Structure 1
Amino acid sequence: MNNNSGVETNVQNNVRNTVSDYIGSQIYLLGTVLVTAIAGFLYGYDTGIISGALINIARDFSLNPHQQEIITSILLFGAVIGSLVCGRLSAYLGRRHMIMIVTAIFGVSVIAAGLAPSAFWLGTARLILGFAVGGSSQVVPVYIAELAPAAERGRMVTFYNISIGLGILAAGMVGAFLQEEWTWRTMFSVAAIPAAVLLCSMMMLPESPRWLVRQERVEEARDMLDTVRETSHEVTRELRSIEKISNRTKEESQDGWKALSEPWVRPALIAGLGVAAFTQLSGIEMMIYYTPTFLRDSGFTEQMAYYSALGVAAIYVIMTTLGKLLVDHVGRRRLSLVMMPFAALSLIALGIAFNLPGGASEHRWLILSCLFGFMIFNAGGIQVIGWLIGAEVYPLCIRARATSLHAATLWGSNLILTSTALTMTGWLGIGGSMWFYGALNALGFIFVYFMVPETKGRSLEEIETSLKEGTFLPKKHIALFK
């Protein structure tokens, strides 16, 4: 594995160190995180743009409703595959190089989608695009978490969430305001621009020091840490901790997915995968994808339904930004426990509003208030920690596989929710569906309370040590906001 060190050229290392010395380690780290978070923008834009493009795609290719569902959901299927495959690849190739690979796939696939001569080739391009979306969602939060100091890790990782929201918002604005100026082909292809910016920028960014130590490239890891830490004392202390954990896990780890069955890692897997599932099953994607459909079918005008969807996207961005500012002060666990009950109550109230006499059009402001209330409490709560917990709780020896499984669980839950939301409303009505998703939010609260520990201010190595010592889970009688 040491031969891989030749990949890093002396020119790149010298430029990286010079830039870090000139602008300061903290600013360099922040710049690295902001650049890497462009992958989140691509994720948000490429998943969200289909809502504004689908009508024209269906007209050009004469698609029936079932074919439209396939074109929409095939990206999510690709994301499940990408999240499972790219975690393993990132363990061999490195986090930085894996981000570069999926970014290149982003660029090629969006151009291919824009040039697609038929629905088949458009679906194929979106399947490949989904692979990139899933791969980036697995590796980018891990890369950021492994670079960030413990006290700032939450704020750093949630830049990725904010970037996702900005991508969704940008897609909504394109769909709302550029229908006359841009064809659906342009809507897809324009995403190649941020992909090219990210790919070029990643060439000069550092590799994860934790991955380098895992490959026995300790001096390179020291150099990388030196670019993102203020003092040599911080570098030496952190490097010793990383080496200690890395050496121990090399002795204890097993090949293949069998390592995930070790009893001592099970609490981390339950906590992480449970949060991943509830991040989607709580209903956030249902609101992002189907708000115009729900509101239009309930009697809202098409224009009001569409602008309401923009409001949903804007709230997502605002609340994930606020969550970023709060998560390292309030804590991951506490933030979720405070917000989730109100998200559940908002959905229950929304279900009642849809069933009030007079129809939805008579109570549209109450419906919008409940809808936006749900977005405030869901996007500002569990959505903030969905990717963050997955980047924090898994020990180093299984991190690549576990984060792959984490992303696959999140995307798989998304796929289930997206493919059943309209069927659910057909069975239960829109109001009944809201009550069902409200119950899932309440169940998510119970899960977080009993199964998810607080990770605020703890290094990745301290979290792993708590797993080994059996002190990972929150105490059964811990005070709710302790």
Structure 2
Amino acid sequence: MTHTAGQAPGTTKGLNGHMLMAAVVSAISGLLYGYDTGIISGALLQISEEFHIGNTMKETIAAGILLGAVIGSLSCSLLCERYGRHRTILLICCVFIAGSLTCAVAPNAVGLALARVLLGFAVGGATQTVPMYVAELAPRAIRGRLVLCFQLAIGAGIVIATIVGASEAVSWRVSIGAAAAPALLMLLGQLRLPESPRWLILRKSDVEGAEKVLKQVRPAGYDVDSELDEISALGRRQQRTDRDHQGWRGLRQKWVRPALVVGCGIAVFTQLSGIEMIIYYAPTILTDNGFSRSSALRVSVALGVVYLVMMIIGLWIVDKVGRRRLTLIMVPGAAVSLFVLGGFYITGHSTRAYVPAIIACLLAFMFFNAGGLQLMGWLTGSEIYPLTVRAAATSVQSATLWSTNLLITLTLLSMISAFGVGQVFWIYAFFNVAAWLFVWWKMPELTGHSLEDIEQHLKNDEFQPEDFARS
């Protein structure tokens, strides 16, 4: 039942200035996410020397941004519903600036941890709001690729952060505070963008305003009328529903539950797959196990580059290969990489002679994980939820992701101390096996379906993989 309304032959692939600017804003927000979370990896080595802290405080500083992200993702849902996606993103930009500068001047470890909570509010708010905003603006034919600009930029941010950390020439205060500059550019870019047409229709019944926005963000010759009719029809149906079926209350509806299970499940497994373990603590794990500091930081840069390259590849193929198929292909490779990596440590083969093999396993894991499961974390959340509960549902998914990340970050070094590095790698390998089973069992193929079509599948109780395969 894939519709073709809203598409004009030969025009759906074009990008005009406004849509390009939306992609740029999305990219900057993703870059800030990647940079602000990734910079702590190398910075912890400097911070621990300056503040004389142990593993517990290291975990607390790394986790501060994640606690803030949980708060931000939940709070920005309410702001999105009430004030709109556009104005919420403007607020997020301001918090990014304030948070970066506050971290840079933190007087001690506790102050830094608290400042990273503020910065985390912006990170969490961005992950909840920006992909949803771009998905609601984008033409369906390139929706996946535009939303993944956010994910791609996360990789770029991580690479920049690892390069800055590996240089060891820049003070951690300067490297963290420098994030205020792209945040200012993001603010200036967002000021030029319109509100989401879907929010205008749902919350304001502003069909004329939505039509004006669609004409702004679609290339010349695009069939705006058909797309507007589809959005308006859905908006009218949503407005006729009572308040118990909208927003946070609406999440209790039985027909919404399958989308929430898939979205939150994917969010959990993107973190349990081991990606954050590698991004946050790779230098710490490697230096604690015989690697020199400079070698560990260079490995961290290589991991960031692989992440970015796979984001670029995923950006171009996800709408062609398909979300579900790509994930099922890539996850087994990530699991095998962690099993082999853990085996080196468990069997005592983690000596200098095996360094090339260990590094190869780390890079292979990043290749398969970044090119598969990581692509889906924010993309699925921007696509699968009904319009009346979209802000609340994406907030729950984002908070689920950040809460899982927070739990991992607060416990990882302690788990390694208790069980050993190899055993922990194996634990995360089994999580990848569980992720593959979850995607195979629960995640439908959303490629080629409009947001309205996906919602209709939910209402028809046809949200299993086989239901989408038939349509």
Fold-level match, TM-score > 0.5? yes
Among 249, 264, 278, which residue is 1:258 paired with?
249
- What is residue 12 of structure 1 aligned with on the other side? none
Residues 263 and 384 of structure 2 are in contact (CA less than 8 Å); yes or no, is this contact kept in structure 1? yes
Secondary structure of residue in 2 paired with 1:103: helix
2:161 corresponding residue in structure 1: 171
Within a 5 Å distance, the mapping from 1:336-375 to structure 2 comes to: 336-375=327-366
Offset, 1:370: 1.4
**Superposition CA RMSD, Å:** 1.9
The reply on whether 1:422 has 2:410 as its aligned counterpart is no
Q: Which amino acid in 2 is paired with 1:203?
A: L
Which of 122, 125, 148 is matched with 1:135 structurally? 125
Secondary structure at 1:453's aligned position in 2?
coil
Over 3 Å counting, the alpha-carbon distance change for 1:110 and 1:285 in structure 2 is same
Q: TM-score, length-normalised on structure 1? A: 0.90
Aligned residue among 390, 399, 403 for 2:381: 390
Number of the residue aligned with 2:6: none
3-state SS of 2:444 partner: coil
Deviations 1:95-141 (A, max 9, x none): 11111101101101111221223334322221111111100110000
Q: Deviations over 1:186-221 (max 9, x none)?
A: 112111110111111111112211111112111111
Q: Secondary structure at the match of 2:45?
A: helix
1:85 aligned residue: 75
Q: What is the alpha-carbon distance in structure 1 between the residues aligned to residue 346 and residue 114 of structure 2?
A: 41
| CA displacement at 1:256 relative to structure 2 | 5.4
Matches of 1:66 and 1:353 in 2, distance apart? 27
376 and 358 in structure 1: CA distance in 2 versus 1, 3 angstrom threshold: closer
* Structure 1 ranges of 4+ moved more than 4 A: 476-479
Q: 1:284 aligns with which of 275, 282, 290?
A: 275
1:429-468 pair list within 5 angstroms:
429-468=420-459
Please say if 1:65 is aligned against 2:55. Answer: yes
Describe the superposition over 1:137-161 as per-residue Cα deviations: whole angstroms up to 9, x where unpaired: 1000001111111111111111101
Distance of aligned partners of 1:25 and 1:313 in 2 relative to their CA distance in 1, 3 Å threshold: closer
TM-score (norm 2): 0.92
| 8 Å Cα contact 2:73/2:127 also seen in 1 | yes
What one-letter code is carried by the residue in structure 2 that aligns with 1:452? M
- For residues 170 and 26 of structure 1, do their structure 2 counterparts lie closer, same or farther at Cα, with a shift above 3 Å needed? same
Q: State the alpha-carbon separation in 1 of the partners of residues 387 and 440 from structure 2.
A: 25
Amino acid of the structure 2 residue aligned with 1:74? G
**Number of residue pairs matched by the alignment:** 455
Looking at structure 1, the residues matched to 44 and 122 of structure 2 have their Cα atoms a distance apart, in angstroms, of 21
Q: CA deviation at 1:357?
A: 4.6
Written as runs of structure 1 = structure 2, the 5 A alignment for 1:155-166 is 155-166=145-156
Unaligned runs of 5+ in 1: 1-23
**What is the deviation of 1:358?**
4.5
1:195 and 2:183 aligned: yes
Match of residue 308 from structure 1: 299
Secondary structure of 2:361 counterpart: helix
Name the SS of the counterpart of 2:465 in structure 1: coil
> Compared with structure 1, are the counterparts of its residues 61 and 433 closer, same or farther at alpha carbon in structure 2 (3 Å cutoff)?
closer
Aligned to 1:247: 236
3-state SS of 2:290 partner = coil
Q: 2:206 aligns with which of 192, 217, 237?
A: 217
Change (3 A) 1:466 1:321: same
Distance in 1, Cα, partners of 2:15 & 2:149 = 18
Once the two structures are TM-superposed, the CA of residue 354 in structure 1 deviates from its matched residue by 2.4
Return the alpha-carbon distance in structure 1 between the equivalents of residues 80 and 358 of structure 2.
Answer: 45
- Name the aligned partner's letter for residue 184 of structure 2: A
Alpha-carbon distance, 1:258 to partner: 2.5
- Alpha-carbon distance between aligned partners in 2 of 1:25 and 1:359, rounded to the nearest angstrom: 50
Percent identical among aligned pairs is 44
Counterpart-to-counterpart distance in 1, 2:48 and 2:188: 35
